Amino acid sequence: MEYIPACEHDKRSFFVSYWSVLLREHIAIMTFFAWHDYNLFYIKLNRFLIQFCTNFTMNGMFFSDESMHYLYVNNGEYNFVQKIPQMAISIVIGHILEVILCYLSLTDAPIYQIKELARNKTTENKKKIFQIIKCIRRKLIIFNIFTFLLFLFYWYFISAFCAVYPNTQKIFIRDSMTSFLTSMIDPFAIYSLTTMLRIISLSKCCKKKASFVYGLSEIIPIF
């Protein structure tokens, strides 16, 4: 909603708003708990698997001769502090990829537009509806091709990595799982902040500063 209509109609509590954001934006919750949205389940599952594989691939790319030597010198002992930079970069890249995939795959917002246009069945609205449907179809085709190519690359890279470095597979899997779990946790903090900004802005309706805060809360989530 725009700011003024939201002031009039959005009377939800913080926790209700927070959960609604998580249902739409947190990839794991959206995939396995949001059953009544207007997004295709197999597309959501595809995005979840891509996110999982991206973390594995990014962590594999950070294994260099220097890191291998470090493991050798320390008898393979795990150093979490040393892994923080590579996990952070992996998470950032994963989030950037997630923004691209969201743009290509989310269908709920276009369907809401279709439902709104369908209330007034004019010739112009019918044309707009067909244009929206064509746009959805085009994006989903690009999404499927793009993710298929990514899966091929990830499969090749991870298979090659594990074949070349068989002694580092346990560390590789451990780093990748840690990075993936971290990427699943950090959205809780991000979306709690944006929800808090939204609640604060709606509690001070019709003020310029409050409308600015509301705009900030709308930036994230991006889609």
pLDDT, residue 155, reads: 94
Q: List phi, psi (to 5°) of 26.
A: -75, 120
Average pLDDT over residues 150-169: 88
Average pLDDT over residues 32-51: 89
**Regarding predicted confidence, which is higher, 168 or 192?**
192
pLDDT, residue 120, reads: 84
Average pLDDT over residues 138-154: 94
pLDDT, residue 75, reads: 58
Please spell the DSSP secondary structure of the chain, one letter per residue: --HHHHHHH----HHHHHHHHHHHH-HHHHHHH--SSSS-HHHHHHHHHHHHHHHHHHHHHT--HHHHHHHHHTTT---HHHHHHHHHHHHHHHHHHHHHHHHHH--HHHHHHHHHHHTS--HHHHHHHHHHHHHHHHHHHHHHHHHHHHHHHHHHHHHHHHHH-GGGHHHHHHHHHHHHHHHHHHHHHHHHHHHHHHHHHHTTTT-HHHHHHHHHHHHSS--
pLDDT, residue 211, reads: 75
Q: Please check the confidence at residue 50 and state whether its pLDDT lies above 60.
A: yes
Please tell me the total count of domains within the chain: 1
Q: Please check the confidence at residue 194 and state whether its pLDDT lies above 90.
A: no
Q: Which domain holds residue 92?
A: 3-219
- Read off the pTM: 0.79
pLDDT, residue 168, reads: 79
Percent of the chain residues topping a pLDDT of 70: 85
Average pLDDT over residues 212-220: 75
Q: Please check the confidence at residue 55 and state whether its pLDDT lies above 70.
A: yes
